Amino acid sequence: MRWSTDWGGIRVYGCMFLLLTVSLWVMVRTPSFLYRFHLLSIALLLGSVYFFLRETLHLMPAVIWFSSDWTVAASVGFLAAALLRWPPLQIAGLSLGLLIGDVMSACAHREQMAMTLGQAEFQDEWWLTAFAARGCSLLLEGMVAGSKLVFKRVRQRVRPGREPEND
């Protein structure tokens, strides 16, 4: 989204409003207060991890996998996939988390540069993190399904006198 507005001396791009609207819509549609609170706490965690990695990754170059953007996206995406299983909750938590992290970063550097929220780099990071989260989620689901199948087969072989079932 290329359109932006100035809001109290802060340049805010349209993607911030869109992501905030989608996240709040998912939170409102979530059936339980406990799930909403869980989503908010995970968003705060993801936002602080996002901010931490963006600020300190240049101090730890051995941790960088392909690029610093990919490292941040994969780390935050894996956390989102591990902590939230339902895809709309993943996207909402991820969106809120990255919004929180971007606001924290803009506030931390407001003396060095003008505050800008949701610029093109942020949008690219959001897409990369969303793909990483969904990809990690699919990998984790596959690992759990495979582990259950292996456990079932081992348990059938350990029990004497039972005929193994065909799947």
- Give the mean pLDDT of 39-60: 89
The pLDDT score that the predictor gives to residue 94 is: 93
Q: Which of 24, 138, 123, 18 lies closest to 80 in space, CA to CA?
A: 138
- Give the mean pLDDT of 90-110: 89
Confidence of residue 49 (pLDDT cuts 50, 70, 90): very high
Query: Which of helix, strand or coil describes residue 18?
Result: helix
Q: How far is CA 46 from CA 35, 111, 115, 163, 167, in A?
A: 16, 25, 21, 48, 40
The pLDDT score that the predictor gives to residue 163 is: 60
The pLDDT score that the predictor gives to residue 51 is: 92
Confidence of residue 58 (pLDDT cuts 50, 70, 90): confident
Query: Which helix (H) or strand (E) covers residue 83, if one does?
Result: helix 68-83
Kindly state the DSSP code that residue 32 receives in the 8-state scheme. -
Q: In the predicted model, is pLDDT for residue 132 greater than 60?
A: yes
